Amino acid sequence: MVGSKFENMSHEDSVSLTRSIMSILDSWGLSGEALMAVLDLPEGTPKRALRKYRDSTPFPDTEQVYTRLEHIVGIADALRTTYPHNPPMGILWLQQKNKQFQGRIPLQIILDDGLEGLKEVRAHLDCAYDWQINP
């Protein structure tokens, strides 16, 4: 993709990024269908592609996918900062009802609301990102 944020990455770096993102998403306990939805993979992408992403194939070089990757990494970093001594608590936080979200589950917000859900969860966890989007 010309002008993509991936264009300056080597194939090896793209594969490494993809593996890292898949590791994050796997730690969140998402099903194959949920992974496909969170990543907003192009229409017609088979579920078996997820196995390839875990091994040696980089994500599709699209702006939609890259935008979601930025938010996934932002959420993972914020959870790591919030729970530095207990990483499983970050996963638990994603999977339980939260009064800040009117009793909704953060992962369900991400699945139900797509990109806007990713942004909402990230803004809640990452005040620097929230300040950036809500000056």
Radius of gyration of the chain (CA): 15
pLDDT tens track for 3-56: 456 667 898 999 999 999 999 999 999 999 999 999 998 888 898 999 999 999
pLDDT tens track for 13-26: 999 999 999 999 99
Tell me the β-bridge partners of 104: 98
**pLDDT at residue 6, rounded to an integer:** 61
**pLDDT at residue 7, rounded to an integer:** 65
* Closest listed residue to residue 79, CA positions, set 122, 26, 112: 122
For residue 2, what pLDDT band results from cuts at 50, 70 and 90?
Answer: very low
pLDDT tens track for 78-104: 999 999 999 999 999 999 999 999 999
For residue 1, what pLDDT band results from cuts at 50, 70 and 90?
Answer: very low
- What three-state secondary structure class fits 3? coil
Residue type, 62: T
**C-alpha 39 chain-centroid distance:** 7
For residue 128, what pLDDT band results from cuts at 50, 70 and 90?
Answer: confident
Q: What is the mean pLDDT of the chain?
A: 90
